[in-house]
Structure formats: structure tokens, C-alpha cells
Structure 1
Amino acid sequence: MRARVEEIVFDCADPAALARFWAALLGGDPVDRSPDWSYVDPPGFVRVAFQKVPEGKAVKNRVHLDLAAGDPSAAADEAQSLGARRSGGIVADEYGAFQVMCDPEGNEFCFVSG
């Protein structure tokens, strides 16, 4: 049997707000299916969904998205204007660079180049 990724789901406190953040970041229109479930279908990517859970985020994500960005610093600046925050500085080596970010609820993601 082969399966395919249908969507990536983030647990969160405010699905509608996160869907709007990620739609602004990745493109696509936010959809609120219910007060407990929202999603966005970014162009060229699988659905990114958000489900309401009672507990808050307590530790680092075990899985995160790496988003291609020609200039991770410029991408981070734009994401900050949408409500994200940087986590540390840019890390660079001979293969490229990345900037760890947190969305408005603290879910980590990275802007990467190279």
C-alpha cells in the first residue's frame, strides 16, 4: 500500500487566526470549516490545517515546515510583519542558510536557502 500526504495539521488554540497567518505567508484562501477546524490550500502544496485543542504548546515541534526563501532574512522580516517571530539568528554554512521562526502560536518553521 502507498499512502500520500493529504494535509499537514497543526494543533492550536485559534484555528481561524492561524489559517489567516499561513494563508498570508504561503498563499491561498483561509477556510473556516467550524470553530474548531480551519485550513488553507497553498498553491503547489498540500493543505495546511489547524485544529483546536485544549492544551497549549509546551515543547519544540517534532516536525516542522522548511520554506524555500531566496533571502531568509528578508522572508523573516515579512513573516514578522504578519505576526511571526524569529527564534535565534540566521545559521549559514557552505550549503546555504536558514532562519528558525515561530508562528503566532509558537509552532516552529524555517526559511531556507541553498
Structure 2
Amino acid sequence: MTNRLSAWNSKPTVTSRISHKIVFELRPPPEEFGSALPPLVAQLSPNFDCTHYGRTRCKKDKSIWVIEGLWDCTKTMERHFSSPALHALINYLKSMSVYCAEFSAEGI
């Protein structure tokens, strides 16, 4: 399964010095997940001087999602990791049928 997720683990799509990415696969992909995810991700974007925070669903495999955040400063990204909004997203992911997950960070 890791090889399928690794294909998504490429360079960030938006130019920035600092980034982190969460790639995960749900099995089976619950239909309500797609509608619950946008509000959780939207809470993360305006916080901590984030230049971009978004989510993408794989077009070929609807069970794979990517959540990506980009910053100009390492310190603001580090504060993000302890934010209640990020922990709410992680707790939500834990409550779903996450089959496989990868985390990566660049520019730290």
C-alpha cells in the first residue's frame, strides 16, 4: 500500500520554503468523509501564517486523500503542530477507517 501513497508524496504544488503533507487511504471510503473534511481543513488555513492549506482526493482511487500545508517560516509551522485545529483533524482521521497513512515535511 505504501507504494500507492508514495506516488502522492511528491514536491509541494505551491512554491514555499516549509511544507508538510499527510497522505492517507480510507478503506472502505465512507461517503460522509468527503463532506466532513472541508470544514476541518478550512480551520487550519488561516492559522499560523499558513500560505496554503488544502486537501485533494485522488481521481483514480477515491480512497486516497492528501492534506498539505505550506508556510514561509519554520516556527509558525511548528506552532501549527500543537494547534487544537490540527488535533481535531487527527482525531477525526483516527475515528475513520484509515487503512494507511504517511506524513512528510520539507524545508525544516
Greater helix share, 1 or 2?
Answer: 2
**Length-normalised TM-score, structure 2:** 0.34
Q: Greater CA radius of gyration, 1 or 2?
A: 1
**Length-normalised TM-score, structure 1:** 0.33
